[in-house]
Structure 1
Amino acid sequence: MRRFLDEQRILSSLEHPHIARLYDAGRAADGRPFFVMEYVPGRPIDTYCAAHGLDISERVELFLQVCDAVSHAHQGFVIHRDLKPSNILVTEEGTVKLLDFGIAKLVDPDGASHDTKTGFRMMTLEYAAPEQIRGEVLTTACDVYALGVVLYELLTGSRPVEDHDRALARAFAPRGAPALPRPSTRVAGDDSHPTSRDHRSRTLRGDLDEILLKALHLDVRDRYADVGSFASDVRAYLQGRPVSAQAPSVPYRVRKFVRRRRGEVAVAALVLVAVGVSAMVAWGQSLRATAERDMAVAVSSFLEDLFEAGDPRVGVVRDTTRMVDFLAIAEVRVRDQLAARPRVRARLQLILGTVYRNLSRTDRAVPVLRAAVESHAQGDTEPGAEAIEARRLLGLSLAETGELEEGLSELRAALAEQLLLEGPEAEATARLHESIGRAYAEARQNAEAIPWLERALASRRARQPPEPASLASSLNTLGSALAQEGRPSEAVGFLAEAADVLGGAASLPRGVRQSDEGYSRNNLSQVLMNLGRLDEARIEAERAGALLDSAFTGGNPAKAGNLERRAALLSMKAAPTARERTLADSLFQASLTMQRSLPRSPGGLMYSWNAYGRALRTWSRSEPGGETLDRAIEAFGRSLSEGRLDFGDDHPLVMSVRADLGKTLVEAGRAEEGLAETGPAWALVQRAVPAGHPMTANVVIAHATALIAVGRGGEAAELAARVRPALVEALSEEHPLVGALDEVVADARSPGG
């Protein structure tokens, strides 16, 4: 009764377009109290966003209506205390209505609640502020926290704290405890979003990450002072202005200013921000030029300089975020200022698309390359080399972002145009053959990829003298596809030749030669490791590391992968010394640290955590107690989370991690849990991965081990016997994985199996 009367009293004091109104109140004839509220024909805010496919900006704009309502309540000295999506309805017209002030409380003008205790029953723990869970005196900061949880969930599809136990643990954590995971790392797969998970993750990275972490800070003193300040930062983000949650710096504020005023800022000023005063002069001169040719040459020269700055092989990479911000501005200006000059516009759009690809921003490359293809079509001329190249890069970018059929369509169209232009013997034709093969390989359709890649290699070998970079590219791509197809013995020769070609290519720039040879030797070391030729793999991994360290001054995905590879190879020694184990552990940690400092690279963190988990599992077998095995289980869990974030639930790589986790659970005495992981992993991998692939061997061994552990040794032996011939054919009778499979069969046939 008291709660009912409190809500009636509080609602009667609130009048706001985004708060459900109280129309009447009283007692029925039987003495029961009632009140008449505004009927809200709406859905919970999270359901509404999903049903309407709202993008991130639209969700943020909708959220600001909630902030306005809560801020109004605070001005009336009311804190809601139970903000969550089910209490925030949205009508079909897009109007927010805040409901359920049933546990709201009046606060003093200084912001403190009259109540000192809240009680777990009167809150929703996943949305409750830590001080609310602890039963402390409440301020409006508890609603700031709950709003942070709501926005976090709207933007990522998950809550920062997923269940009651974790909410309680965080509430009673000491000051200085680790911050919540950044929203950009927690984006869930969600078909209701109009953009990909990877795109949403990049959008959240930066301002929105910092805004949400500030709103969700464990300590009240480090949160926003009030909902108005929180909303002000959210509005600043939408308007492209600096946000208070970010550490202030001149480059950050200049970047935000340029993005906000892109229509008014002079092009010379943009260039000053991006590349310095000398480039500014060249850009300004190009704009003043009256001849289209002179303007195109000057602007193209500038953007090509930018392209080199974005190619880590040529020199030191500039700040990627700043570079992408600048490119976005340049993209708009090229589109708008050159609307009547399609050929010049197409030239610049091709360069912009190339830069985006060098910065690993394929998602941004696709629309600008599509625009380049359209611009060439408007040029009213027969397709030339640049038009074909734009179509080739568009097709490859589409394939790399999961649009294989559309990508192949563009690539085949480009190949038809190229054959008419230069015939079958030209280098550009070989490049298109290779690109079609790469597109298939991106979709793990390596059987379809290999003939195209062989055709490109044959063409490049026939050219005398062969061009080193192109020849090495063909060798590398074909070798990688063969390895993925379960033909590692064939792959080794191509990868070794690619590394040797690059090592002897004195004509290439030093940075390009070192980085490309480093990539090749990295790939070679992986395949040698898969073949069980561990000593050779260690030599190639060390050589790759030295080359990559010389080529790149800072962090780099290839360097991070090389650190993980060297650590894994050390951990695979038959009897590693204590020093080698310590070194391997430090290399794993360095790889993980570097991966986290870089823009997200699909699979990077998944591979590193998985390799670390395997090493810990191996080391645990020679140690008393289960601490190291527990660390291995944790590492595989982290690997699985990262893999799902990058690839979704049903990808073979993710299933391979599940198999590793399952095998480790079995070793920890948790056989049924282990089988629950290995069973689905084997069900998918046997359909999607060649029978002779090392991944197949690892998953079969894990699943058979789990079957034996639950007393199903006969099934395990039958499974191993069925897979063994293909593995022997692909890997050899002496391969360690074949030996491990034989050990499983022996266990299955033993009396206890």
Structure 2
Amino acid sequence: MNDSGREALIQRIFSEVRRLSEVDRRPRMVELGADSVLIAEIEALLLGDAETSALGASPAARGATGTGAELGEGDTLGAWRLLEEIGSGGMGAVYLAERSDGHFDQRVAIKLIRGIPDAETFVHFARERQILANLQHPNIARLLDGGATPGGQPYLAMEYVEGEPIEQYCAAHSLGLDSRLRLFQKVCSAVQYAHQRLIVHCDLKPSNILVRADGNPVLLDFGIARALDQQAGPRELKSASSWVTPLYASPEQLRGEPVTTASDVFSLGLILFELLAGRRARLDADDHTITLLGQSAVKPSELAEAMPWVARLRGDLDAIVQRATAADPRERYESAESLAADLQRHLDFRPISARRQGAGYRLGRLLRRRWPVFAAAALLLLVAGTFTWQLARERDRALSAEREAITQAHTAERVSEFLVSVFNVSNPNLSQKRTLTAREVLDQGAERIEGELSDTPAVKAKMLAVLGTAYRYIGESARAVDLLDRAASLYLDPRVDQPLAAADALSALAVVYSNNNYPASKAEQVASEALRLRERYAEPESLPIADALNTLGIVHESEDRFDEAEALLLHSLRIRERLAGKESRAVASVLHNLGLVETSRGSDLGKAIDYFERALAIKKKLEGDRNPDYETSLADYAKALRKDGQRERAVDIQRKDLALSRELYGERSELLAGAHNELGYTLHDMGRFSEAAAEYQASMDIRRELGGDTGAAFAIPLNNLASAYEDMGDYAAAEPMYRRSLELRRSGQDPDSPLIASAEYNLARLLLKMGRLEEAHELADKALSSYRKRYGADHRNVVKVEMLEVERLLDSHALDDASELFSKVVASPVELGDTFLARRHALAARIAEQRGDADKALEASRQAWEAIRRAWGEHHPLSLEYGLAYARQLSRSGEHQQARAIVNSIADLAPAFSPRSPLHAELARAPGRDE
């Protein structure tokens, strides 16, 4: 049920039961469909309702509730005709009436008792008539007439007030804090007027204070008010206390003790609390706010519900409400006038009586009250001080600029000298070598930094950062990490003290970590430190801040924290578009990274492709299409196309990227190795396993030549090569590769890294195919635990491991356990792609087959066959296994011709598989195969 429907139901049931006796209410609420929560809410409304909140009504009143009044709508009473009932309570009802004698038009509110009046009720009405006759105040509803009905029931005709209850008026008209206080002061004035005539209202509450359209409040219902100069007997005293509203009654009223003006002050304090805090002081039966206010244990400022003036409540207004609502009447304001006066002192920035008036407090009030005088004096002092400070500042700025210019000139000179000396090694006349590669030039420079720049730490830091960035762009991640880390540390050295330059180096270092499969914790730590430095030393919403957000977004993308990554990158994009321009290199960079997020998330690959195409267009326009920046986006663009199923197009782009990488980075580069690996991915997806294996092998050869066959980066093509051999059915060749990949990832990654879990799953899947069930189970269990810890129970990686466990249980002939776990897999809300959907249908077919349900097995095999072809295409090698399984089920069901047709349509896929593949034997045994 939505909020509006729930509110409507509450109001309907409330209207139905508000006039029932307390005994009859709850059964009726249950009949009307209220659950325990709704009943609690409705009872809270009944507790605070003006007409239903009697504290133990007298037997006569309780009996009268259900008997009906003598008169009703349409009846005439003296000069008045009753129009409609506008209120109802334990004693009687209130009707809107108009004059019926034709002398003039006038509307009044007529109060009638309900049922047979007793002596006590006559006393109430007699007292109310006398009280109202004595009260002539513009903010108190006037008594106009009174008498008895034909049946002897007393009635009162009072001024009819058109208005809204005070708390509703304030909310509807969006009254500010000062306006609410001034409105409340008028209420206090009316209450004080009554108190001066020795009359206590006894039932002050928001519904008894209506505010007219002109903004003036009017007090209603002096029906239980007491004249303090009259002595009431015990029975009358009990009667008076039995009709108060508990929500706003003072503690002494609730105890049945004699009332005083302090009782009205308490009720005023609760009303003031409601106007300031935007909520009632008592929300339900378990809310002890009123008691805590009385003990000064809570403050309105602590309980205000999103009111814009919460800060202004602290101090004066908190103290005023706490004093007005003190549990002990002797600690409250002595009158409503005193309460209003303290509010006026607050509005005038004068010390209030409810707080201790220390020197600091009095001085603060004086400053607020006389701020123009103090501001003028402070301005004169400020102008004089600023003039003096400005002179000194300009002097210091000139000296600082001079020193900075000298430092920068010296740094530029040293950097220039160093670079010239480094690049001289490529001069054949000086190096006595014919040619040198870019890497060899960088290696020469890196070796010379320590020896030649130790006396100039600022120059050394800059050169470390420059060379680290250069190594990053030629794909030498290990050298880049070392140099960038040292550059950042040196920039933070007190001798250099360039925190923003350090943030630049840290940002570049975080990207290298993230892009090269270093532990995620390292990348996040470095990226967060870069953001911290920029937030401290750079302007808000500046380009350095945008760079830090972009870097942290890259790191979160690598951790599969896609929503966080997207939010950071979009924030960076907005800053960069505003400050650098929509076609700047900075914007192209963040568009590229947004493409990575969408590619990894996989839910909107069209969006990913669009991001990459926009990034490539900007980069080509700015720098052409033969530079590392363009190559990076080209490579990731191809990944998005591959995941979107556009494999032929992806292969074409990846072959261009491979050639460009070779041209840019040379034959020995991590980036060229990465290009071979990515091309292998796509060929693998297309079922061209042998070609894919060749690309994976080329990637590994380059990394091995670079000395990188022991890191997590080497584990990637190694794992992929193992996967290619697995798909070709050469399990013996795949196993040692999977084991080596797992070993490398365990040695270089955080224990909970998803890369480790992925390697464990891959090896478990292979071992299961090889019939080594226990070892497979052990590895799968580790992967499952890791995935659940990272992603929770409802995630695609969790489901795929659970499906592997179902397969193991079936291989172990544990049919019931397999069926139970499979039911959980089927019930999972995770959306599976067609590849995993095919596996799920294949498992359903195996379960049905083992249970002897041939029809269900046939249908599940058909669904698996269709899903795998949707995933990989009509004629993909990976469909061979599913086609043979479907043909076998067709043959068992007597559909031999259809089985033969399927087998013949897929038989030509066999050459894609290794001679060791079990599929060759299965194909040979396939039903109805034409020889």
TM-score of the superposition, structure 1-length normalised?
A: 0.55
Cα offset for 1:348? 2.2
| 1:570 partnered with 2:767 | yes
Q: Distance in 1 between matches of 2:554 and 2:875?
A: 37
Q: Is 2:612–2:637's contact at 8 Å kept on the other side of the alignment?
A: yes
Q: Is 1:373–1:387's contact at 8 Å kept on the other side of the alignment?
A: yes
**Secondary structure at the residue paired with 1:592?**
helix
| 1:376 partnered with 2:573 | no
CA distances 1:352-389 after superposition (whole Å, capped 9, x unpaired) = 22121122212322233233333222125584543322
Letter in 1 for 2:572: A
1:126 maps to what in 2? none
1:349 maps to what in 2? 549
Aligned ranges 1:419-498 → 2 under 5 Å: 419-463=620-664, 465-466=666-667, 468-498=669-699
Cα offset for 1:349? 2.5
| 1:297 partnered with 2:501 | yes
1:23 maps to what in 2? 16
Q: Distance in 1 between matches of 2:12 and 2:924?
A: 69
Q: Distance in 2 between matches of 1:533 and 1:489?
A: 12
CA distances 1:625-673 after superposition (whole Å, capped 9, x unpaired) = xxx233444454455555x50x34x633223321232133213312222
Match among 807, 810, 830 for residue 614 of structure 1: 807
| 1:317 partnered with 2:521 | yes
**Secondary structure at the residue paired with 1:21?**
helix
Q: Is 1:531–1:735's contact at 8 Å kept on the other side of the alignment?
A: yes
| 1:531 partnered with 2:728 | yes
CA distances 1:551-593 after superposition (whole Å, capped 9, x unpaired) = 12412222222222323333333xx5xxx54323322222222
Structure having the higher Rg: 2
Q: Is 1:18–1:69's contact at 8 Å kept on the other side of the alignment?
A: no
Match among 855, 860, 873 for residue 690 of structure 1: 873
Q: Distance in 2 between matches of 1:438 and 1:383?
A: 24
CA distances 1:268-287 after superposition (whole Å, capped 9, x unpaired) = xxxxxxxxxxx9xx99x99x
Letter in 1 for 2:785: T
Cα offset for 1:299? 4.6
2:894 maps to what in 1? 711
CA distances 1:663-709 after superposition (whole Å, capped 9, x unpaired) = 33213312222233233333343344234434422322332233234
CA distances 1:82-132 after superposition (whole Å, capped 9, x unpaired) = xxxxxxxxxxxxxxxxxxxxxxxxxxxxxxxxxxxxxxxxxxxxxxxxxxx
Distance 1:658 1:427, change over 3 A: same
2:843 maps to what in 1? 660
2:609 maps to what in 1? 408
Q: Distance in 1 between matches of 2:804 and 2:885?
A: 15
1:597 maps to what in 2? 789
| 1:395 partnered with 2:595 | yes
Distance 1:565 1:641, change over 3 A: farther
Q: Is 1:557–1:595's contact at 8 Å kept on the other side of the alignment?
A: yes
1:736 maps to what in 2? 918
Q: Distance in 2 between matches of 1:375 and 1:345?
A: 9
Letter in 2 for 1:517: F
1:678 maps to what in 2? 861
Letter in 2 for 1:470: L
Cα offset for 1:351? 1.3
Q: Is 2:511–2:523's contact at 8 Å kept on the other side of the alignment?
A: no
Count of paired positions: 482
Q: Distance in 2 between matches of 1:397 and 1:709?
A: 47
Q: Structure 1: which 5+ residue stretches go unaligned?
A: 1-13, 28-33, 45-65, 77-225, 229-235, 240-278, 287-292, 621-627
Q: Distance in 2 between matches of 1:15 and 1:490?
A: 68
Cα offset for 1:310? 6.9
Q: Is 2:904–2:930's contact at 8 Å kept on the other side of the alignment?
A: no
Letter in 2 for 1:566: L
Distance 1:338 1:365, change over 3 A: same
Distance 1:318 1:70, change over 3 A: farther
1:31 maps to what in 2? none
1:197 maps to what in 2? none
1:201 maps to what in 2? none
1:630 maps to what in 2? 816
Q: Distance in 1 between matches of 2:18 and 2:37?
A: 26
Q: Structure 2: which 5+ residue stretches go unaligned?
A: 1-6, 21-26, 46-284, 288-302, 307-484
Distance 1:663 1:317, change over 3 A: same
CA distances 1:284-325 after superposition (whole Å, capped 9, x unpaired) = x99xxxxxx9674355456667667878943473799x999x
Q: Is 1:473–1:498's contact at 8 Å kept on the other side of the alignment?
A: yes
Letter in 1 for 2:660: S
**Secondary structure at the residue paired with 2:16?**
strand
CA distances 1:53-103 after superposition (whole Å, capped 9, x unpaired) = xxxxxxxxxxxxx99746547989xxxxxxxxxxxxxxxxxxxxxxxxxxx
Match among 756, 765, 777 for residue 585 of structure 1: 777
TM-score of the superposition, structure 2-length normalised?
A: 0.45
Cα offset for 1:449? 1.6
| 1:702 partnered with 2:891 | no
**Secondary structure at the residue paired with 2:791?**
coil
1:128 maps to what in 2? none
Letter in 1 for 2:608: G
Q: Distance in 2 between matches of 1:637 and 1:565?
A: 23
Distance 1:486 1:314, change over 3 A: closer
Cα offset for 1:474? 1.4
Cα offset for 1:607? 3.0
Q: Is 2:683–2:689's contact at 8 Å kept on the other side of the alignment?
A: yes
Q: Distance in 1 between matches of 2:30 and 2:799?
A: 51
**Secondary structure at the residue paired with 1:317?**
helix
Distance 1:227 1:719, change over 3 A: farther
Q: Is 1:652–1:684's contact at 8 Å kept on the other side of the alignment?
A: yes
Distance 1:346 1:520, change over 3 A: same
Q: Distance in 1 between matches of 2:680 and 2:36?
A: 56
Distance 1:744 1:345, change over 3 A: same
CA distances 1:390-443 after superposition (whole Å, capped 9, x unpaired) = 121112323333222232222122212222333232222222221111111222
Q: Distance in 1 between matches of 2:671 and 2:503?
A: 28
Distance 1:586 1:406, change over 3 A: closer
Aligned ranges 1:77-476 → 2 under 5 Å: 296-300=500-504, 313-315=517-519, 317=521, 338-339=540-541, 341=542, 343-381=543-581, 383-401=583-601, 402-463=603-664, 465-466=666-667, 468-476=669-677
Q: Is 1:666–1:709's contact at 8 Å kept on the other side of the alignment?
A: no
Q: Distance in 2 between matches of 1:696 and 1:469?
A: 34
Cα offset for 1:330? 7.4
Cα offset for 1:541? 0.9
Letter in 2 for 1:536: A
Letter in 2 for 1:610: M
Q: Distance in 1 between matches of 2:888 and 2:40?
A: 58
2:739 maps to what in 1? 542
Percentage of identical aligned residues:
18
Distance 1:352 1:707, change over 3 A: same
Distance 1:363 1:739, change over 3 A: farther
Distance 1:732 1:473, change over 3 A: same
Cα offset for 1:487? 1.3
Q: Is 2:500–2:533's contact at 8 Å kept on the other side of the alignment?
A: no
| 1:723 partnered with 2:903 | no
1:246 maps to what in 2? none
